[in-house]
Amino acid sequence: MRAFLLALAVCLATALPALSQSSSAAAKNAHGPAQVSSAFHVQGARLRQTLEHLSTFGRNPDGGVTRLGFSAADMAARQYVMGLMRDAGLTVRVDPAGNIFGYRAGTEKLPALLFGSHIDSVPHGGNFDGDVGSLSAIEVIRALNDHKIKTRHPLEVVIWTNEEGFHFRVGVFGSSAAAGTLDSSVLNRRDDQGLTLADWLRKYGQNPADIAKAKIAPGAVAAYVELHIEQGAVLDRAKIPIGVVEGIVGIGWWNCVATGFANHAGTTPMDQRRDALVAASKAVLAVRQAVRAVPGRQVGTVGIMKVEPGAPNIIPGRAEFSVELRDLDAAKVHRIWSDIQKRFAQISKEENVPIECKALDFDEPAKANPLVQQTIRDAARSAGLAYLDMPSGAGHDAQNAARFAPMGMIFVPSRNGISHSPLEFTPWPDVTNGAEVLYRSILLLDQRLNH
């Protein structure tokens, strides 16, 4: 993440024509505190109250949540969020992938402006990842209602299904279905309870056979905007309230199995072992070496390691582990994966332990649309908020939305850059700032887009 700092550009110089609500006191100093120069439209206290309530679904004793996509906690949270949408006057529908849409009519026959995020979490996650963008989108609708503002474009709030993808190892599931890139064979994957993804879709009231109908045709959406916490420390360190995302990394997931031979740990001499964990351990280091072997901001992680049979006095016979690679350049991810496979082949030879890997998921990287980015900058400026252009090292549903609509993302700071942790925190004023920039971005896009 530190490397990201090198790529940052402070972008305050170029102003587009002023907005109707804009103030002349727009932020001039990217490092200064937010100068709120014009009245905010969203209500921070109301938004916070809904975020705090959402955090009760799947809450862990340590304060964070485990609200996996396709779980009882997620189901209950979805009901709560659908209730908030209806209370805000939205017409709610759920698509065959379980994505929730809340519709508000426009005054002209135009495609909808779509905005939202996700409410599922990683295991032992926090209360801001996804939640902020989801509930801010609903707050934007409430604020428009408060101010009796009608838009030309219809507005649609979206809550995507199973963004984190821990369950069934398929990240950005719902938005992949919307982009038409979902490999439908994932519907047959089975979880620890013996249920398939298709079974869970049925529990969510959907017919898995209809999954292809979740696809959104290019042109059917005027633009997609997602507000999200940064999940890194760039904004927090620089004390800048708003990030304007330039692009989102591509993410590849693989599952690998090292197959050795389980045997007595006391009687098998050291030179006669086929230790699956030793091979897998070398593989973990090989991933790091391959990722570091080329210059750039790419990252690679082994986050899961399961060892069998798992006893102090048995040589491990099987080790199953994950590999994750990320970069803004998909080709680079694939090149590094090729290098890793060569290294694994060498380790297999050295340890006499075959290592076999299967591709589980690949989320293509995506660039934000220049007009949407500029609109977000203008929205931030009009609210008196300094901003920074930056890449996203985390994956988001927005990267799928970019396949069917011009896409942009708004980031708000994550304290100390901590995320996917119960310690994840975004100060409440920063949450409000993000929601206000979303509000203003939507209204500006409504003015600027004629399709």
For the CB of residue 127, give the shortest distance to ligand HGY in the complex, in Å.
14
Give percent helix, percent strand, percent coil of the chain, each to the nearest 5. 35, 20, 40
CA gyration radius for the chain? 23
Around 14, how many Cα atoms within 13 Å sit in the side-chain half-sphere? 10
For the CB of residue 133, give the shortest distance to Mn ion in the complex, in Å.
8
- For residue 112, the Cα-to-chain-centroid distance in whole angstroms is 22
Q: Is 58 or 171 the residue whose CB approaches ligand HGY more closely?
A: 171
CB atoms within 10 A of CB 295: 7
Beta-carbon contacts of 240 under 8 Å, excluding residues fewer than 6 positions away, are 10, 30, 31, 386, 387, 388, 413
CB atoms within 10 A of CB 97: 25
- If one asks whether residue 130 binds Mn ion (CB under 5 A), the answer comes out as yes
- If one asks whether residue 74 binds ligand HGY (CB under 6 A), the answer comes out as no
Q: Which stretch binds Mn ion (CB under 5 A): 94-102, 130-138, 267-275, 284-292?
A: 130-138
167-186 binders of ligand HGY (CB under 6 A): 171
Beta-carbon contacts of 160 under 8 Å, excluding residues fewer than 6 positions away, are 99, 116, 117, 118, 172, 173, 174, 175, 178, 397
Q: Is 136 or 281 the residue whose CB approaches Mn ion more closely?
A: 136
3-state secondary structure string, 177-226?
HHHCCCCHHHHHCECCCCCEHHHHHHHCCCCHHHHHHHCCCCCCEEEEEE
For the CB of residue 131, give the shortest distance to Mn ion in the complex, in Å.
9
For the CB of residue 355, give the shortest distance to ligand HGY in the complex, in Å.
24
Among 74, 95, 156, 163, binds ligand HGY (CB under 6 A): 163
For the CB of residue 223, give the shortest distance to ligand HGY in the complex, in Å.
22
**What are the C-alpha distances in Å from 213 to residues 2, 159, 209, 339, 397?**
41, 17, 9, 38, 18
- If one asks whether residue 164 binds ligand HGY (CB under 6 A), the answer comes out as yes
Among 395, 406, 413, 434, binds ligand HGY (CB under 6 A): 395
- If one asks whether residue 129 binds Mn ion (CB under 5 A), the answer comes out as yes
Among 68, 81, 221, 394, binds ligand HGY (CB under 6 A): 394
For the CB of residue 251, give the shortest distance to ligand HGY in the complex, in Å.
6
Q: Is 26 or 225 the residue whose CB approaches ligand HGY more closely?
A: 225
Q: Is 222 or 248 the residue whose CB approaches ligand HGY more closely?
A: 248
- Note whether 370 and 359 are within 8 A (CB): no
Q: Which stretch binds ligand HGY (CB under 6 A): 11-19, 163-171, 285-293, 296-304?
A: 163-171
119-138 binders of ligand HGY (CB under 6 A): 129
Q: Is 163 or 351 the residue whose CB approaches ligand HGY more closely?
A: 163
Please tell me the distance from the alpha carbon of residue 311 to that of residue 123, in angstroms, as a whole number.
26
- Note whether 162 and 177 are within 8 A (CB): no
Please tell me the distance from the alpha carbon of residue 91 to that of residue 85, in angstroms, as a whole number.
8
For the CB of residue 364, give the shortest distance to ligand HGY in the complex, in Å.
14
Picked from Mn ion, ligand HGY, none, the partner binding residue 395 (CB below 5 to 8 A depending on kind) is ligand HGY
For the CB of residue 129, give the shortest distance to Mn ion in the complex, in Å.
4
Q: By the criterion CB under 6 A, which residues form the site for ligand HGY?
A: 129, 163-164, 171, 394-395
